[in-house]
Amino acid sequence: MDNDIKLSIDLSPAEPLWKIAPTRDENGNRVSDFLMIIPRLRHKPEHHIKRTLDDIDRVLKQFKTDIVFANMDMKLNTLWVSFKPEPGLFMQIASTIKLHVPEAVLVGDMSPRITR
């Protein structure tokens, strides 16, 4: 299996993630995943977009044995990452992306933190 992560970038209509994102790794184990939004990325100057994508690529390569899929949708300014379900890995990957791309926002269910 090729462990090089290919970050697919396309400005044409994206293929739905349910069609392309794997639900299992090469051993048949279920994968975990998360979504990050990078607000207004596609409206930034080209050099900023390139630097941001290079930063994301560098981070993903740090975890290349654990990440099974990554997709950057430039139309929606979203990054989807699927990875092996190892304890603590979610936080390691997401926080490393956030460290290198500070404008990236993790999408998640915040309802347990909301008090009424």
Q: What is the pLDDT of residues 29-40, one digit of tens each?
A: 999 999 999 999
Say which range, 2-11, 42-51, 92-101, has the weakest mean pLDDT.
2-11
- The residue ranges of every structural domain in the chain are 29-110
pLDDT digits (tens, 9 = 90+) for 50-83: 999 999 999 999 999 999 999 999 989 999 999 9
For the chain, what is the mean pLDDT? 86
CA-to-CA distance for 3 and 79, rounded, in angstroms? 19
105 in Cβ contact with 112 (< 8 Å) = no
Q: What is the pTM of this model?
A: 0.81
CATH architecture group of domain 29-110? 2-Layer Sandwich (3.30)
